[in-house]
Chain A
């Protein structure tokens, strides 16, 4: 089976599906054989999490994640997150030729000799998805099987995982289309807005309206979290409640987190709040991409993590944030200078402020929990208005009782 022929079939069936596509020849073939303003690029390993964020933000719209086997393998931990969030509107297509195809064909029609991916060896991609807990998984080897599997995925509730075994050939006369351009991201935003799927104020195309409070059909209710009272330094439920309430009052309605000891109660409130979407993740960069995908699709996200996890995030911060203006609020526990008694947290001072500064991501420290409502509201306004991430550091004294 040739991929571009399968994409022609896909194009006949996709209707108004959002397509989050990966890089390389596959991305160009998608945009050649199935061009749409609903196509958006995410570099490996981010098609999977960006697609999940969009699917959760727009549950009534179909989201197709499409990537090569190399990209799929690089984002493999994200399968567990998709499976457990169980979005019914996700179809995940992996084009598996068992090789790093695009790298070996750059600038030429000949392949510079195969370098197999793990799926070209012993690894079974469908087996991964099945074990992760996807609702449906299948592997196809012919165009006829592909069409049947795609029709079945469209007709049933997902998430569905479709591995298409393809030949090691690129589409003849493949044009040299650029991927991941600013233009593509702008067209995508406008595509969502013109269909009425997101508001123009959220898409960053109209100024000012986002300053107004978010329309709420029901009052905010903060979940009641109880913790046993003990003496000694430990996370404070009361401080967590102030910070969580500040997030909700600012309009945050989409929480992504990797549980950590300092932020634990804030994360628990999110996990137990039926008024918001909350996503527990496997890696921090995956979480960042999920939050950014949700932002692109009209939600108001925050990522809550330990500072060390920022060390996995520069690629997403550079490509998704700077190039495509996907944004999110970021709250991270620990601080470069204050109250760091454990040697193992030395990574905070190496990776948090230096990296955020190097990438020109606005970042600041919440020194007093009393300032949380103001600081969080204003930081979120900058996220919306500037369409860029803003990071707020939470030192231990702001989260813990002495």
Chain B
């Protein structure tokens, strides 16, 4: 364009202006946009009770994803207020992702890449939804750009659940990327992250992690080791 000016793009100011514009139009709540403290602690107003889909699978012996554990984790997400799930299917989280897919009360999106899923979730967050991204740890290796620009610069948040763990139960060589990229990258990017070591802790940990996402407007990641989501 002739006479184009040197305007800055992608600034913090632009993101703040955008949030305020959504609030002023009443398209998102002030609590969600991070401009009013405290209210987000209250349970979401729900027009209908949470109903967890009835997912069935054939029962077999041996190590495999546990339907019951997946139900506990999925229920924890829904009870915490999550209403937007983006995922790239993976073997460990498969049943959690199936619950999301079959849940007509939420928006669920199967993505082609993990950074794609993360950016969608963050867009959902900016637009007033309560998103989770569910993926295999390897996919975090595509997400650093989104985690830095969208998260740090523009304060777009999302809860992240990722399967596999840097130390526990990793029997396959091809999953070595988990120990290279999951915890080291979160530490490098200063993204809060922790491991769910006991399925009984899922409701508490997920609720509190989501509160941090909302309050801090930053991603929070939870690792799901195989023993937490599989039956032996």
Contacts and interface: CB of A to CB of B under 8 A. Distances in A.
Are both chains from one complex? yes
A74 B113 contact: yes
Nearest to B87: A115
A103 B90 contact: yes
Contact of B138 (A285, A319, A350): A319
Contact of B184 (A312, A323, A343, A358): A358
Interface stretch (B91-99, B125-133, B199-207): B91-99
Interface residues on B, range: 35 or more
Contacts of A133: none
Interface in B78-112: 88-92, 94-95, 97-98, 101, 110, 112
A105 B91 CA distance: 7
Interface in A81-126: 100, 102-110, 112-113, 115-118
Contacts of B147: 311, 350
Interface stretch (B8-16, B29-37, B39-47): B8-16
Contacts of B149: 308, 311, 346-347, 350
Nearest to A343: B11
B198 interface: no
> Which of the listed residues B62, B112, B152, B185 has the most CB atoms from chain A within 10 Å of its own CB?
B112
A166 B91 CA distance: 20
Given A104-B89, A118-B112, A181-B174, A358 B185 contact: yes
Nearest to B180: A318
26 contacts: A45-B113, A70-B112, A76-B112, A104-B89, A106-B91, A109-B60, A112-B57, A115-B101, A181-B173, A311-B144, A311-B146, A311-B147, A311-B149, A312-B115, A314-B181, A314-B185, A317-B180, A318-B141, A318-B177, A318-B180, A319-B141, A343-B8, A343-B10, A346-B152, A350-B147, A351-B148
B189 interface: yes
Contacts of B153: 343, 346-347
A239 B64 CA distance: 58
A354 B190 CA distance: 10
Interface string B182-200: 0011011100000000000
A350 B92 CA distance: 30
B64 A314 contact: no
Given A178-B173, A181-B174, A311-B145, 17 more contacts: A23-B174, A70-B112, A100-B89, A104-B89, A104-B94, A107-B62, A110-B60, A112-B57, A311-B144, A314-B141, A315-B140, A319-B138, A319-B176, A346-B148, A346-B152, A351-B145, A359-B180
A316 interface: yes
Contact of B152 (A312, A322, A350): A350
Contacts of A113: 55, 57, 98
Interface in B119-168: 138-142, 144-149, 152-153
Interface in A253-312: 285, 308-312
A344 B9 contact: yes
A106 B65 CA distance: 8
B162 to A, nearest CB: 13
Nearest to B90: A103
A224 interface: no
Contacts of A153: none
Given A180-B174, A315-B139, A108 B60 contact: yes
B94 A106 contact: yes
> Which of the listed residues B57, B97, B145 has the most CB atoms from chain A within 10 Å of its own CB?
B145
B181 A310 contact: no
B180 A117 contact: no
A8 interface: no
Contacts of B63: 107
A152 B10 CA distance: 50
Contacts of A105: 91
Nearest to B136: A103
A265 B5 CA distance: 24
A322 B55 contact: no
Given A314-B141, A314-B142, A315-B141, A322 B180 contact: yes
B25 interface: no
Contacts of B139: 315
A193 B90 CA distance: 36
B8 A342 contact: yes
A247 interface: no
A322 B174 CA distance: 11
A343 B65 CA distance: 45
Contacts of A346: 148-149, 152-153
Given A315-B142, A358-B185, A115 B97 contact: yes
A319 to B, nearest CB: 5
A232 to B, nearest CB: 12
Nearest to A310: B144
A112 B187 contact: no
Nearest to B175: A180
